Structure 1
Amino acid sequence: TALDIERCDLNIKDNHSNHHTELFGEERLIVRRGQPFSIALHLSPSSKEFKVGKTNFMFDVETGPLPGRESNTKVTFSSQASTVNTEWSASAATDASGRTVIVSISSSPKAPIGIYTLTLDQLGQKTSLGQFTLLFNAWCPDDAVYLKSEEKRKEYVLAQHGLVYRGSHKRIKGKPWNFGQFEPGILDICLKILDDNPKFLSDPNKDVSSRSNPIYVTRVFSAMINSNDDRGVLVGQWVEFSNGIHPGLWMGSGEILRQWAERGPVRYGQCWVFAAVACTVSRALGIPCRVVTNFGSAHDTNANLMIERLYDENGDRISGDDSIWNFHVWVDSWMTRPDLGSKFDGWQTSDPTPQEKSDDVEDLVKLSTGQFVTFSECTKSVGLFISTKAVGSNERRDITHQYKYPEGSKEEREVYERAHHRNVLLQRGEKLGLHLKIKLAENMIVGSSFEVYARLTNNCMDTKTCKLIFYARAVSYNGKLGELCGFSSDHLEVPSGQERRLSLKLEYQRYKTAITSDLLIQVSAITINKETVDFQKAEKTIVLDEPDIGIKLVGEARVNQPVTVKLTLLNSLPEPLLNCSFAIDGIGLTGGKPITAMVGTVGANEQAKARVVFKPTVAGSSVLLVNFDSDKLKNIKNVIDVVKYDPAKHWNSHSKPVGKKDPVIGHGEHDGHDVVVVVQLGIEKVISENTNSAARQACRLVEASLDGRAGADHRRERDLAEAAQ
């Protein structure tokens, strides 16, 4: 006789805690493969008893539209524990009452990810027990995405916000991004991306079966992030954005993914947006992922590991297909590579904005005879300061050594020569003759006018003469040159051991109409001596600084209580900004979508100001991301950490009032710095923008208002905290 099951409890809360999926919420069961999860089968009063070792039943798990045993999308296993840890298995026992059967189910660490149905089979009598979603498991040693370090798992799987690096290798800027992989509905959208990919549409069973392999899954969703050749998420655009959203306005992946699920391909994205959304999908599915920026990223159209940029003998650029992007952003995903061998296990690169990678640059001068010669000095600007956010902090980590061999090394030479290039690697080192460098100004904020200098030095015994051309052009982050915004030239005579300088004034009134929202200007200096057929070139990219957004929380942040944030930005331009607005976004802060405050027109050298109200929904730490937009200044971002408290859950009777404040939290100012004093369970915690001195003084002020027993506890806690610091 079969057991009479009254109901099945999926133990969502406990299972989520054990599987690091609690941030998904408790609406449905979400677990990671290769790790046990438990369910409780509550027997009806009339049911026969469950006897350990004697009562045996079977389970069926199925996933995909056409589940089958051959494709491993349908598996049957018994309640007798298996000794093979790579297979599905289960074990069962009863609780103390004997009326509840506790079943522990272990999925295979090689199972396809996705939504599964769970069915109990008792001698052909089948009972549906519900559904669960299975993800990759970076905590399981038998999973292909296993990552040993708990700190790295927190960063690359669980962290919902991070930094995406942009700018140039001389001026690297980290831009905040909300990945939001645990936000409501995002996991379902990520699974929908897999279901909408062309491979699934042509052969659903094969595609779902292949979802056991993180290599396959990563390739599929990486292709689906870009909508160029399928029904993907984002439309790429680099010039005109009137029919969509400017890529610089996005603050997180959630809004993009929701728009795609509702209306199809989202307009518009550029490389950092593609990569950030891909990172969200990867982390949601359980694959460790990081966003990587390469400064000086080459696009080599003829695959010879050389970028050829053509100039005529007057220094003017001749159009060509090869280009060097000021930066390019992709993602790395962590997994084993059984197809390549264990030495290739670890970080694997995928690029939702495909382009070839190169190692060197060759600038060619086309003479009037039709002959080509190279500039005397070749740049080393490709593949510099490859960057990602550090684990557990907002510091930048340089990972260039993980991608390329050192300049001039034996290994670099071998890679280069394997490309069958017509030359060997250029030998680095200073040659006799003229040498050209560009010196930039210290402060180059957008709206200001400033000077840059070309410096020409002569380290040989003879006097050298040449023509020096010095000019500036607007440039996009992808290397596309815009209008000329500055020009200077002169014929120079440089005696032995001396230098000459040529200045170039960059005025706002001239560059304002040329630059894009990337705020980049490329300055180039070229020396020309037609008699000796000697050419020199130097080049630098200016990243104009942007004004900072000031962020100040008014009071403390509490769950389900309105919080006001004051936002300010000084207009650095000598003319008004039109259509100004601030937008805020934060996981667990703004209800899953940005909140926008319109400001209107802001005069020259005046401040844009706004007060925005939001309501936190969950306790804990989060990040509030702020974006400023206007007709002339875009993609200006800043963040502030927000600690949200839930008085109903965290405070007890030992908490004492701080002055006239609520007994929970006191907020004030000490030495000009905001200090929040939190009294919790008889122990004060201090959150301060400042340093330990402000915190210690605040602690002493609080102690005076506490009773003796609580005060002693506080002093002990303070001493321990100070010793730890």
Structure 2
Amino acid sequence: MSQALHLEHYDLNIGENNASHHTELFGEERLIVRRGEPFNITLHVKTDSGRFPLDDNSFFLIAETGPSPTKESGTRVTFALQQVTDKTQWSASATYGPAENTIIVSISSSPNAPIGVYKLTLDQQDTKIPLGEFTLLFNAWCLRDVVYMPKDAKRQEYILEKIGRVYKGTFKRISETPWDFGQFEPDVLRICFKILDSSPNYLANANEDCSSRKDPIYVSRVLSAMINSNDDNGVLVGEWYEYPDGVFPWDWYGSAEILQRWDESGPVRYGQCWVFAAVACTVSRVLGIPCRVVTNFESAHDSNANLCIDNIYGMDGERISGGDSIWNFHVWVECWMDRPDLGSDFDGWQVCDPTPQETSDGVFCCGPAPVRAIKEGELTKKYDAPFIYAEVNADVVNWMYLPSGEKVKINVKSASVGRCISTKARGSTKRRDITNVYKYEEGSQEERHSYEKADHRNKLHQEGKEPGLNLKIKLAKDMVMGKDFEVCAQITNNCMETKACKVVFMASAVGYNGKLGEYCGFTMEEAVELAPNEVKHIPLKLEHKNYAPVITSERLIKVTLMTLDGEHEEYNTAVKTIVLDGPDIEIKLLGEARVNQPMAVELSMLNTLPEKLQDCSFIVQGTGLIAEKIETRIEPVGPKEEAKARVEFKPTTAGTCMLVVRFKSDKLSNVNQSLNIDVKE
């Protein structure tokens, strides 16, 4: 029988272990390690029994996670001391410490172990001694972990980076919004595991769910469902039209506040696609899955899974609603992992989309689907590849309903969906276009092969001018909220003969998700005649008094141009979405930024509207600069007057911190500006 171990106390060496496992930014309140790499604990033993012998019978260690851990599920493991710690499985080795009566125990988890909060126990001669708890995460630094990501710069960006960019607007007018992922903010780690523990899978069978957490495919799919609240007590309530008793989605600045609110009181009102995606990115990075936020412009929503978006118009030019739509932009995340279920060709970035659009296996979730499968048209690869493929590759088919009831095809546009697919560049604040990662060049042989594999129709025409009338919409250079401006229809006759047609040119408010609002401009010419190669221009004036009452805070206007030749059954359309510019907020620093020293900024913004702004305020926030966001209310601001405010605060963290300023009022909102501030000790 081995000698009994008399333990005085133990030390989890949290500071050293967390630093070596790249988790020191979580703080030193708990031991947080990544799977497949060893960590060291120190045992302080009593001296009255002599030096404790170290061999494979000295003691055993037990690690267990979940409410009902079992050996069969892999949520409870028992292992003895070895000569050397084995990084391929749960193992431990021990040496005598430099201090008297201390033993250093090196423990390694399996690179395939379930992530979670573990209890560690020392078992010797049926005497069990608790050694505290540790949190185990996925490990992008470990070659044997399926989330392994080569190159430290990538791991720094997609696991540890706290500040990101979300891209919105239109593919011709891309705007960016800074986002604070806040993965190392207080309680966020605990909340992320609470999200997993709140899922229907966990509530139905906790042990099976905890066992499945060894697989990032499973975890990312659960997160895709739990970030929205459609089927469960998930994090965010989606809303695109009315926002009673909640936060307007455009007002969110970071993930930590959303997660903390959910922890306190359940589903948070309200989110839209970029909020869902940014929160999913935070949770994925916290759990150790490399993740980035991606925006797809002109994103198709194919509700009937035919890989086509059908737009049906009446003879008056009005679109007849259907299930399909094209969003100006849509935001999802990509998670990095191997796909042993599909083969190594499909390792790497996987699309996961937590925005509740369509159900998958009866649940509002989407992915993970390999980006490689989307590009190659491999739509049988799990999960939800056909829906994502359509978002970036669907054909747009325009139809006309004739008075007789017949439906006539106007045209097919095969290159209008999936534009300027964007993510933040690694190690930079610049935008990176990754469209070529999702799809081959339009018209290339590779693209044609991808379409064939996806059972998509062949393209109707190669690139080049089509016979008939060519329609373009020309925009004004200065389209600022509050000003009147003109857009122009340009119609070119590419035929050898004279063409006559009716022209309908109109504008309406539109949400970023494609939902049309009320009209704000309309003109029609019953009989327009164009000689061969003739070009005609028809103006449409958009006045502030007409568009201001109907547009949303996103400041989007959809302009539609149609030509109708009923005699020859020839119909043409052109559509363009306008993003009205908002005024600029100027941020002026007063004094030098130093930790715990008062400083101030002066804020100013010109009111470009021809009317007075009421209920005005500047909202200032920034991690490391301001503990809680500051809202400074100011007097009403008249037309062409400047809104001004002075805000004081004390920075709390040295280094580069981002200050975010927003302005809101009764008639003008969704105006923001950011500034990086270097804070000195």
What is the TM-score with the length of structure 2 in the denominator?
0.91
Q: Indicate the residue corresponding to 1:614 in structure 2.
A: 649
Separation (CA, whole Å) in 2 of partners of 1:54 and 1:539: 74
Q: Deviations over 1:7-62 (max 9, x none)?
A: 21111111121111111111111111111111111223435324455873221111
Number of the residue aligned with 2:658: 623
- The offset of 1:640, in angstroms, is 1.6
Q: Among all aligned residue pairs of Structure 1 and Structure 2, give the percentage whose two residues are the same amino acid.
A: 57
State the alpha-carbon separation in 2 of the partners of residues 366 and 58 from structure 1.
77
Could you tell me how far apart the structure 2 residues matched to 1:272 and 1:81 are? 51
Aligned to 1:202: 204
Tell me which amino acid in the other structure corresponds to 1:482: G
Please say if residues 57 and 80 of structure 2, whose CA atoms lie closer than 8 Å, have aligned partners that are also in contact.
Answer: no
Is 1:452 aligned to residue 454 of structure 2? Answer: no
Report the equivalent of 1:362. Answer: 397
Distance 1:272 1:183 in 2: 20
Q: What secondary structure, in the 3-state scheme, does the structure 1 residue paired with 2:614 have? A: strand
Counterpart of 1:288 in structure 2 is 290
> 2:34, 2:656 → 1: CA distance?
24
SS at match of 1:235: strand
1:586 aligns with 2:588: no
Contact 1:485 1:514 in 2 (8 A): yes
Match of 1:477, as an amino acid? Y
**Shift of the alpha carbon at 1:600?**
4.4
Listed one character per residue, the Cα deviations across residues 644-666 of structure 1 (whole Å, up to 9, x for unaligned) are 322xxxxxxxxxxxxxxxxxxxx
* Aligned-partner SS, 2:328: strand
Q: 1:69-104, CA deviations, whole angstroms, 9 ceiling, x for partnerless residues?
A: 111111111222456432111121123333221221
Cα pair distance change 1:217/1:81, threshold 3 Å = farther
Deviations 1:150-174 (A, max 9, x none): 1111111111111100000111111
Structure 1 position 325 matched with structure 2 position 327: yes
Cα distance in 1 for partners of 2:412, 2:200 equals: 48
**8 Å contact 2:166–2:176 — kept in the other structure?**
yes
The aligned counterpart of 1:24 is 26
Give yes or no for contact 1:416–1:425 (8 Å, CA) kept in 2. no
Q: Structure 1 residues 640, 84: CA separation in 2 closer, same or farther (over 3 Å shift)? A: same
79 and 566 in structure 1: CA distance in 2 versus 1, 3 angstrom threshold: farther
Report the CA distance between 1:408 and its aligned residue: 2.5
Which runs of 5 or more residues in structure 2 are unaligned?
Answer: 359-386
Task: Give yes or no for contact 1:249–1:629 (8 Å, CA) kept in 2.
Answer: no
User: Any residues of structure 2 matched to 1:315-354 within 5 Å, and which?
Assistant: 315-353=317-355, 354=357
1:569 partnered with 2:605 = yes
| Deviations, residues 253-295 of structure 1 (Å, cap 9, x unaligned) | 1111111111111111111111111111111111110011100
Change in Cα spacing, 1:88 to 1:552, as seen in structure 2 (3 Å) is farther
Superimposed CA distance per residue, residues 216-260 of structure 1 (whole angstroms, 9 cap, x where no aligned partner):
111111101111111111111111112211101111111111111
Distance 1:148 1:164, change over 3 A: same
**Mapping 1:290-689, distance limit 5 Å:** 290-353=292-355, 354-355=357-358, 356-357=387-388, 358=390, 359-376=394-411, 378=413, 380-417=415-452, 425-490=460-525, 491-591=527-627, 593-646=628-681
Is structure 2 residue 276 aligned with structure 1 residue 277?
Answer: no
Instruction: Give the distance between the partners of 1:600 and 1:275, measured in 2 at CA.
Output: 36
Equivalent residue for 1:716? none
Q: Does structure 1 conserve the Cα–Cα contact (< 8 Å) formed by 2:85 and 2:92?
A: no
For 2:254, the equivalent position in structure 1 comes to 252
Aligned partners of 1:598 and 1:525: how far apart in 2?
43
1:563-589 CA-to-partner distances (Å, cap 9, x unmatched) read 323322222211122222222232233
1:40 to 39, 42, 46: 42
Deviation at 1:633, TM superposition (A): 2.3
Q: Does the 8 Å contact 1:444/1:545 carry over to 2?
A: yes
Instruction: Name the stretch that deviates more: 97-106 or 269-278.
Output: 97-106
How much is the aligned-residue C-alpha RMSD, in angstroms?
Answer: 1.8
Q: Does the residue aligned with 2:611 lie in a helix, a strand or coil? A: coil
2:111 corresponds in structure 1 to 109
Residue aligning to 1:77: 79
* Corresponding residue number in structure 2 for 1:221: 223
CA distance in 1, matches of 2:610, 2:4: 82
Three-state SS of the structure 2 residue aligned to 1:501 is: strand
Give the Cα–Cα distance (whole angstroms) in 2 for the partners of residues 141 and 422 of structure 1: 42
Structure-2 residue corresponding to 1:128: 130
Change (3 A) 1:153 1:54: closer
2-side partners of 1:561 and 1:116: how far apart?
Answer: 41
Whether the 8 Å contact between 1:304 and 1:419 is mirrored in structure 2 is no
Q: Is the 8 A contact 2:589 2:601 kept in 1?
A: yes
| 3-state SS of paired residue (2:285) | helix
Given that 2:85 and 2:108 are in contact with CA atoms closer than 8 Å, whether structure 1 keeps it comes out as no
| C-alpha contact (below 8 Å) 1:469/1:489 kept by paired residues | yes
Do the aligned partners of 1:304 and 1:420 also contact (CA within 8 Å) in 2?
Answer: no
- Paired with 1:177 and 1:571, the residues of 2 have a C-alpha distance of 26
Query: How many Å separate the matches in 2 of 1:513 and 1:192?
Result: 43
The amino acid across from 1:536 in the alignment is N
Measure the CA separation in 2 of the matches of 1:565 and 1:306.
Answer: 51
Hey, what's the Cα distance between the residues in 2 that align with 1:594 and 1:3? 53
* Contact 1:375–1:536, Cα closer than 8 Å, also in 2: yes
| SS, match of residue 82 in structure 2 | coil
Change (3 A) 1:45 1:606: farther
Q: Shift in Å at residue 431 of structure 1?
A: 1.8
**Letter in structure 1 aligned against 2:470:** H
Which digits, 9 at most, give the CA deviation of each residue in 1:374-433, with x for residues without a partner? 224636321111110000111111111111232233444344445656775444321222
Q: Structure 1 residue 627: deviation in Å?
A: 2.2
Query: Which amino acid in structure 1 is aligned with residue 510 of structure 2?
Result: V
Alignment check: 8 A CA contact 1:314 1:528 kept:
no
SS at match of 1:79: strand
Q: Is the 8 A contact 1:118 1:128 kept in 2?
A: yes
Change (3 A) 1:238 1:97: closer
Once residues 562 and 17 of structure 1 are traced to their aligned partners in structure 2, the CA distance between those partners, rounded to angstroms, is 32
Moved more, 220-229 or 46-55: 46-55
Equivalent position SS for 1:601: coil
AA aligned to 1:16 is: N
Q: Point out the more displaced range, 94-103 or 484-493.
A: 94-103
- Equivalent residues of 1:249, 1:634 under 8 A apart: no
Report the number of matched residues: 645
Query: Is 1:234–2:236 an aligned residue pair?
Result: yes
Tell me how far apart the structure 1 counterparts of residues 442 and 457 of structure 2 sit (CA, whole Å).
Answer: 19
Give the Cα–Cα distance (whole angstroms) in 1 for the partners of residues 651 and 57 of structure 2: 49
TM-score, with structure 1 as normaliser: 0.86
Looking at structure 2, the residues matched to 393 and 637 of structure 1 have their Cα atoms a distance apart, in angstroms, of 20
Bigger mean CA offset, 89-98 vs 359-368: 89-98
Gaps spanning 5+ residues in structure 1: where?
647-725
User: Pick from 145, 148, 151: which aligns with 1:149?
Assistant: 151
Pair 52,510 (structure 1): closer, same or farther in 2 beyond 3 Å = same
